[in-house]
Amino acid sequence: MKQTVYLVRHAEPNYNNHNDEDRELTPKGLQDCQLLLDYFNSITIDSIYSSPFKRAIQTITELAEEKKLLIQITENFKERKIDNIWIDDFNDFAKRQWQDFSYQLASGESLQQVQDRTIQELQKILDKKEKTLLISSHGTAISTIINYYDKQFSFDNFQDIKKLMPFVATLIFKDGKIEDISITNLFTKQAEYLKRS
């Protein structure tokens, strides 16, 4: 059985809002959600899941309405918690986490913890045997999923896609095993990352 999982990274958020859970999309971000409507126009989707964070839900609200599907809120697809304080030097922090998947700040999560919860949730969803799934999530959370299936996906790849909001990562499974992984830049319609088994 072939299954396709579309991992949607949210559109541009308002970084002036330091509340991670409640950070909304900017006017540009809301406008860029149209790219998803165009991309999925002729694609049938069986189920839609989302991180509980506002920006992830906002990104796919119009799409879910168009497809007449309920957005199923799933805690395990939320973004990685950095700490209880705002981090100014995000790049150095992110690089250190990618170099050591167990590295975390006092009140934050390691990439290993994020990967464990996202993969566990994804597997539960795949076990439902639906053919086409869409999950709205976040750059780091999605990157840990890709890294689980392709260990070559590294900090450099994360840097390459970091500014893409939104993007679509497509994972194709056959009989539960990964076959293809690709990341599409919705602004250029080009593949930013591609791996075939």
Residue-wise DSSP of 148-164: HH-TT--HHHHHHHTT-
| Cα 18–chain centre separation | 20
Tell me, what's the pLDDT at 90?
84
Provide the number of structural domains found in the chain.
1
- Rounded to whole angstroms, how far apart are CA atoms 80 and 101? 12
The one-digit pLDDT tens for each residue of the chain (197 residues) are 999 999 999 999 999 998 999 999 999 999 999 999 999 999 999 999 999 999 999 999 999 999 999 999 999 999 999 988 777 788 899 999 999 999 999 899 999 999 999 999 999 999 999 999 999 999 999 999 999 999 999 999 999 999 999 999 999 999 999 999 999 999 999 999 888 76
The answer to whether residue 146 is domain-embedded is: yes
Tell me, what's the pLDDT at 148?
98
Phi, psi of 85 (to 5 degrees): -120, 160
Tell me, what's the pLDDT at 88?
78
Q: Domain limits at 38? A: 2-132+139-164
The answer to whether residue 153 is domain-embedded is: yes
CATH no. for residue 92?
3.40.50.1240
Provide the edge-to-edge strand list for the sheet that holds 190-196: 71-73, 47-50, 132-137, 2-9, 167-174, 177-185, 190-196
The answer to whether residue 181 is domain-embedded is: no
Which pTM value belongs to this model?
Answer: 0.95
The answer to whether residue 26 is domain-embedded is: yes
Strands 71-73 and 2-9: unpaired
The answer to whether residue 63 is domain-embedded is: yes
